[in-house]
Protein backbone atom coordinates (compact mmCIF):
# COMPACT_ATOMS: atom_id res chain seq x y z
CA UNK A 1 0.00 0.00 0.00
CA UNK A 2 1.50 3.35 -1.02
CA UNK A 3 1.61 6.09 1.58
CA UNK A 4 -0.38 9.24 1.02
CA UNK A 5 1.63 12.18 -0.26
CA UNK A 6 1.79 15.28 1.89
CA UNK A 7 -0.32 18.31 0.94
CA UNK A 8 1.78 20.75 -1.07
CA UNK A 9 1.99 23.53 1.52
CA UNK A 10 2.95 21.19 4.37
CA UNK A 11 5.82 19.66 2.40
CA UNK A 12 9.35 21.10 2.28
CA UNK A 13 8.78 22.19 -1.32
CA UNK A 14 5.52 23.85 -0.36
CA UNK A 15 7.17 25.75 2.51
CA UNK A 16 9.92 26.92 0.15
CA UNK A 17 7.28 28.01 -2.36
CA UNK A 18 5.48 30.07 0.28
CA UNK A 19 8.77 31.61 1.37
CA UNK A 20 9.60 32.45 -2.23
CA UNK A 21 6.23 34.08 -2.98
CA UNK A 22 6.18 36.11 0.24
CA UNK A 23 9.83 37.04 -0.31
CA UNK A 24 9.18 38.32 -3.83
CA UNK A 25 6.20 40.31 -2.54
CA UNK A 26 8.44 41.87 0.12
CA UNK A 27 11.01 42.71 -2.57
CA UNK A 28 8.38 44.63 -4.53
CA UNK A 29 7.34 46.45 -1.36
CA UNK A 30 10.97 47.40 -0.68
CA UNK A 31 11.23 48.98 -4.12
CA UNK A 32 8.02 50.98 -3.70
CA UNK A 33 8.91 51.95 -0.12
CA UNK A 34 12.31 53.18 -1.29
CA UNK A 35 10.77 55.40 -3.95
CA UNK A 36 8.55 57.02 -1.33
CA UNK A 37 11.31 57.36 1.25
CA UNK A 38 13.57 59.11 -1.25
CA UNK A 39 11.37 62.15 -0.54
CA UNK A 40 13.39 62.47 2.66
CA UNK A 41 16.22 63.94 0.59
CA UNK A 42 14.05 66.80 -0.71
CA UNK A 43 14.97 70.21 0.60
CA UNK A 44 11.37 71.10 1.50
CA UNK A 45 11.19 70.71 5.32
CA UNK A 46 9.52 67.33 4.89
CA UNK A 47 6.58 68.57 2.78
CA UNK A 48 6.73 65.79 0.14
CA UNK A 49 7.59 63.04 2.64
CA UNK A 50 4.77 63.98 5.02
CA UNK A 51 2.27 63.96 2.15
CA UNK A 52 3.61 60.55 1.12
CA UNK A 53 3.14 59.31 4.71
CA UNK A 54 -0.50 60.44 4.65
CA UNK A 55 -1.09 58.68 1.32
CA UNK A 56 0.47 55.45 2.60
CA UNK A 57 -1.71 55.41 5.73
CA UNK A 58 -5.07 56.59 4.35
CA UNK A 59 -5.43 55.35 0.74
CA UNK A 60 -7.63 52.21 1.05
CA UNK A 61 -5.80 49.97 -1.50
CA UNK A 62 -2.49 50.77 0.18
CA UNK A 63 -3.95 49.94 3.59
CA UNK A 64 -5.04 46.54 2.24
CA UNK A 65 -1.56 45.93 0.85
CA UNK A 66 -0.06 46.92 4.20
CA UNK A 67 -1.98 44.13 5.94
CA UNK A 68 -0.71 41.71 3.29
CA UNK A 69 2.77 43.03 4.03
CA UNK A 70 2.49 42.35 7.76
CA UNK A 71 1.17 38.86 7.06
CA UNK A 72 3.98 38.22 4.55
CA UNK A 73 6.69 39.23 7.04
CA UNK A 74 5.24 36.92 9.71
CA UNK A 75 4.69 33.98 7.34
CA UNK A 76 8.12 34.42 5.74
CA UNK A 77 9.82 34.46 9.16
CA UNK A 78 7.87 31.45 10.49
CA UNK A 79 8.53 29.30 7.45
CA UNK A 80 12.20 30.33 7.44
CA UNK A 81 12.49 29.21 11.07
CA UNK A 82 10.69 25.92 10.37
CA UNK A 83 12.91 25.12 7.39
CA UNK A 84 16.08 26.11 9.25
CA UNK A 85 15.25 23.86 12.21
CA UNK A 86 14.30 21.01 9.89
CA UNK A 87 17.54 21.32 7.94
CA UNK A 88 19.59 21.36 11.13
CA UNK A 89 17.83 18.32 12.55
CA UNK A 90 18.51 16.46 9.31
CA UNK A 91 22.25 17.09 9.62
CA UNK A 92 24.02 15.33 12.48
CA UNK A 93 27.15 17.24 11.50
CA UNK A 94 27.11 21.06 11.68
CA UNK A 95 26.53 22.74 8.36
CA UNK A 96 29.86 24.55 8.42
CA UNK A 97 31.63 21.26 8.98
CA UNK A 98 29.83 19.34 6.29
CA UNK A 99 31.44 18.49 2.99
CA UNK A 100 29.10 20.78 1.06
CA UNK A 101 29.63 23.91 3.12
CA UNK A 102 33.00 24.65 1.58
CA UNK A 103 31.35 25.07 -1.82
CA UNK A 104 28.33 27.11 -0.65
CA UNK A 105 28.19 30.88 -0.27
CA UNK A 106 28.38 32.48 3.18
CA UNK A 107 25.03 34.25 2.81
CA UNK A 108 23.22 31.07 1.76
CA UNK A 109 24.60 29.27 4.86
CA UNK A 110 23.61 32.10 7.19
CA UNK A 111 20.16 33.15 5.98
CA UNK A 112 18.81 32.48 9.49
CA UNK A 113 21.27 34.90 11.10
CA UNK A 114 20.62 37.53 8.44
CA UNK A 115 16.87 37.09 8.86
CA UNK A 116 17.14 37.48 12.64
CA UNK A 117 19.00 40.78 12.22
CA UNK A 118 16.26 41.95 9.87
CA UNK A 119 13.50 40.98 12.30
CA UNK A 120 15.18 43.03 15.05
CA UNK A 121 15.45 45.92 12.58
CA UNK A 122 11.77 45.66 11.54
CA UNK A 123 10.61 45.67 15.17
CA UNK A 124 12.78 48.73 15.93
CA UNK A 125 11.68 50.51 12.78
CA UNK A 126 7.99 49.91 13.45
CA UNK A 127 8.23 51.09 17.07
CA UNK A 128 10.13 54.27 16.16
CA UNK A 129 8.00 55.36 13.23
CA UNK A 130 4.87 53.29 12.44
CA UNK A 131 3.72 53.02 16.06
CA UNK A 132 4.38 56.66 16.95
CA UNK A 133 2.78 57.94 13.75
CA UNK A 134 -0.37 55.87 14.21
CA UNK A 135 -0.62 56.71 17.91
CA UNK A 136 -0.28 60.46 17.50
CA UNK A 137 3.19 60.63 19.05
CA UNK A 138 4.89 62.76 16.39
CA UNK A 139 4.94 66.58 16.06
CA UNK A 140 2.59 68.58 13.83
CA UNK A 141 3.43 71.01 11.06
CA UNK A 142 1.82 73.51 8.71
CA UNK A 143 3.06 74.45 5.22
CA UNK A 144 1.97 77.48 3.21
CA UNK A 145 2.89 77.27 -0.48
CA UNK A 146 2.35 79.63 -3.39
CA UNK A 147 0.86 77.30 -6.00
CA UNK A 148 1.73 79.64 -8.86
CA UNK A 149 5.47 79.74 -8.13
CA UNK A 150 5.81 76.57 -6.03
CA UNK A 151 7.63 78.59 -3.37
CA UNK A 152 7.16 77.71 0.29
CA UNK A 153 6.00 80.86 2.02
CA UNK A 154 5.87 79.58 5.59
CA UNK A 155 6.65 76.45 7.57
CA UNK A 156 5.67 76.37 11.21
CA UNK A 157 5.28 73.77 13.93
CA UNK A 158 1.76 73.36 15.28
CA UNK A 159 0.69 72.65 18.83
CA UNK A 160 -1.55 69.70 19.63
CA UNK A 161 -4.44 72.11 20.13
CA UNK A 162 -3.98 73.68 16.69
CA UNK A 163 -3.89 70.36 14.80
CA UNK A 164 -7.00 68.26 14.35
CA UNK A 165 -6.57 66.16 11.20
CA UNK A 166 -4.55 66.20 7.99
CA UNK A 167 -5.99 68.91 5.76
CA UNK A 168 -5.30 70.76 2.52
CA UNK A 169 -6.89 74.15 1.89
CA UNK A 170 -6.39 76.54 -1.01
CA UNK A 171 -7.25 80.22 -0.80
CA UNK A 172 -6.13 82.96 -3.23
CA UNK A 173 -3.59 80.62 -4.79
CA UNK A 174 -2.03 79.78 -1.41
CA UNK A 175 -2.09 76.14 -0.34
CA UNK A 176 -2.16 75.45 3.41
CA UNK A 177 -1.33 71.91 4.49
CA UNK A 178 -1.51 70.66 8.07
CA UNK A 179 0.00 67.24 8.77
CA UNK A 180 1.69 65.01 11.30
CA UNK A 181 5.40 65.73 10.97
CA UNK A 182 6.88 62.26 10.49
CA UNK A 183 9.86 63.91 8.80
CA UNK A 184 10.82 65.62 12.06
CA UNK A 185 10.46 62.30 13.90
CA UNK A 186 12.85 60.72 11.39
CA UNK A 187 15.29 63.59 11.84
CA UNK A 188 15.10 63.26 15.63
CA UNK A 189 15.47 59.46 15.67
CA UNK A 190 18.52 59.46 13.43
CA UNK A 191 20.49 61.70 15.76
CA UNK A 192 21.07 58.50 17.77
CA UNK A 193 24.33 56.81 16.73
CA UNK A 194 23.27 53.33 17.99
CA UNK A 195 20.07 53.54 15.92
CA UNK A 196 21.97 54.69 12.84
CA UNK A 197 24.47 51.86 13.33
CA UNK A 198 21.62 49.34 13.61
CA UNK A 199 20.10 50.60 10.35
CA UNK A 200 23.41 50.39 8.48
CA UNK A 201 24.10 46.88 9.82
CA UNK A 202 20.54 45.82 8.97
CA UNK A 203 20.91 47.12 5.42
CA UNK A 204 24.15 45.13 5.06
CA UNK A 205 22.24 42.06 6.27
CA UNK A 206 19.45 42.89 3.81
CA UNK A 207 21.96 43.05 0.96
CA UNK A 208 23.39 39.59 1.68
CA UNK A 209 19.89 38.22 2.31
CA UNK A 210 18.56 39.49 -1.02
CA UNK A 211 21.58 38.55 -3.11
CA UNK A 212 20.86 34.91 -2.28
CA UNK A 213 17.12 35.07 -1.65
CA UNK A 214 15.98 36.92 -4.80
CA UNK A 215 17.52 34.46 -7.25
CA UNK A 216 16.63 31.48 -5.05
CA UNK A 217 12.97 32.54 -4.99
CA UNK A 218 12.77 32.62 -8.78
CA UNK A 219 14.39 29.20 -8.99
CA UNK A 220 11.86 27.80 -6.50
CA UNK A 221 8.88 29.05 -8.52
CA UNK A 222 10.42 27.61 -11.70
CA UNK A 223 11.95 30.68 -13.38
CA UNK A 224 15.44 29.29 -13.84
CA UNK A 225 15.80 28.95 -17.60
CA UNK A 226 19.23 29.86 -18.94
CA UNK A 227 17.67 32.53 -21.16
CA UNK A 228 16.70 34.77 -18.27
CA UNK A 229 18.50 33.45 -15.19
CA UNK A 230 21.37 35.84 -15.96
CA UNK A 231 18.97 38.82 -15.96
CA UNK A 232 17.39 37.66 -12.70
CA UNK A 233 20.82 37.25 -11.11
CA UNK A 234 21.86 40.75 -12.24
CA UNK A 235 18.67 42.35 -10.86
CA UNK A 236 19.04 40.40 -7.62
CA UNK A 237 22.65 41.41 -7.09
CA UNK A 238 22.70 45.01 -8.32
CA UNK A 239 19.19 46.33 -7.68
CA UNK A 240 18.13 44.39 -4.59
CA UNK A 241 21.56 43.47 -3.26
CA UNK A 242 23.36 46.79 -3.78
CA UNK A 243 21.29 49.80 -4.88
CA UNK A 244 18.26 49.41 -2.60
CA UNK A 245 20.19 48.60 0.63
CA UNK A 246 22.73 51.36 -0.04
CA UNK A 247 20.04 53.99 -0.60
CA UNK A 248 18.18 52.91 2.54
CA UNK A 249 21.43 53.03 4.54
CA UNK A 250 22.18 56.54 3.25
CA UNK A 251 18.99 57.90 4.82
CA UNK A 252 19.99 57.57 8.51
CA UNK A 253 23.54 58.61 7.63
CA UNK A 254 22.22 61.72 5.87
CA UNK A 255 20.23 62.87 8.91
CA UNK A 256 22.97 61.98 11.38
CA UNK A 257 25.67 63.98 9.61
CA UNK A 258 23.27 66.76 8.60
CA UNK A 259 22.69 67.34 12.31
Supply the pLDDT for residue 15: 76
> What span, in angstroms and rounded, lies between the C-alpha atoms of 85 and 87?
5
DSSP for residue 176: E
Q: Name the region of 108 (left: φ>0; alpha: ψ -120 to 50; beta: rest).
A: alpha
**Residue among 229, 218, 253 at smallest CA distance from 27:** 218
**pLDDT bucket at 240, cuts 50 / 70 / 90:** very high
Domain map (residue ranges) of the chain: 8-138+182-258, 140-180
Q: How many CA atoms lie within 13 A of 123 on its CB side?
A: 8
- What pLDDT, in 10s, does the model give residues 70-115? 888 888 888 777 777 776 666 555 444 444 444 456 666 667 788 8
Give me the chain's average pLDDT, please: 86
Q: pTM to 2 decimals?
A: 0.84
Judged by average pLDDT, the poorest of 12-21, 102-111, 128-137, 160-169 is: 102-111
Question: What is the average per-residue pLDDT within 160-187?
Answer: 95
Q: For position 75, what pLDDT does the model report?
A: 86
pLDDT of residue 110: 67
Orientation of helix 12-37 relative to helix 244-258, angle to 10°: 40
Does residue 238 carry a pLDDT above 70?
yes
E strand or H helix at 200:
helix 193-220
pLDDT of 11 strictly over 90: no
**Three-class SS state of 136:** coil
| pLDDT higher than 70, residue 10 | no
Task: Name the fold adopted by 8-138+182-258.
Answer: 3 helical TM bundles of succinate and fumarate reductases (1.20.1300)
Residue range 161-186: mean pLDDT, rounded: 95
Cα distances (angstroms) measured from residue 43 to each of 39, 106, 173, 255: 9, 40, 22, 12
Q: What is the pLDDT of residues 219-237, one digit of tens each?
A: 887 777 777 888 988 999 9
CA 120 to chain centre: 13
Tell me, what's the pLDDT at 44? 95
CB neighbour list of residue 193: distance below 8 Å, 6 or more residues apart: 256
Percent of the chain scored above 90 by pLDDT?
54
Amino acid sequence: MSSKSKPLFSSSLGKKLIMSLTGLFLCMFLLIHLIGNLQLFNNDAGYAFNKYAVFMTTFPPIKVVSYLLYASVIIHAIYALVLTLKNKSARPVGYNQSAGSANSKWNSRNMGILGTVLLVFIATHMSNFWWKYHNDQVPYIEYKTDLKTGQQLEVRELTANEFTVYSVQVENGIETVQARDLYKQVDFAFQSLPLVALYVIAMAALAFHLIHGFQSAFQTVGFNHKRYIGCIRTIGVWLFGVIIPVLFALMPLYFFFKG
